[in-house]
Amino acid sequence: MVANRRPSYSGSMNPEQPFQPAESCLRRTLADIKSFAQREPGQAVAAALGAGLLINMLPTRWVAGTAAVVGALLVRPVLLSLGVTKVMELCCQKSSTQLPS
Q: How far apart are CA 15 and CA 42, in angstroms?
A: 42
Q: What is the mean pLDDT of residues 52-67?
A: 87
Is residue 5, in this structure, part of any structural domain at all? no
Question: Would 4 be classed as within a structural domain?
Answer: no
Q: Tell me: do 72 and 53 sit in the same domain.
A: no
Which pLDDT tens digit goes with each residue over 7-57? 554 555 555 656 568 788 889 999 999 999 999 999 999 999 998 998 888
**Residue numbers of the domain that contains 100:** 60-101
Question: Which pTM value belongs to this model?
Answer: 0.41
What pLDDT was estimated at residue 1?
47
The answer to whether residues 74 and 99 belong to one domain is: yes
**Does residue 47 share a domain with residue 75?**
no
Q: What is the pLDDT of residue 63?
A: 82
CB within 8 Å of 5: residues ≥ 6 apart: none
For residues 20 and 55, the answer to whether their CB atoms sit within 8 Å is no
**Element counts in the chain: helices (H) and strands (E):** 3, 0
Kindly report, residue by residue over 1-18, the tens digit of the pLDDT: 455 555 554 555 555 656
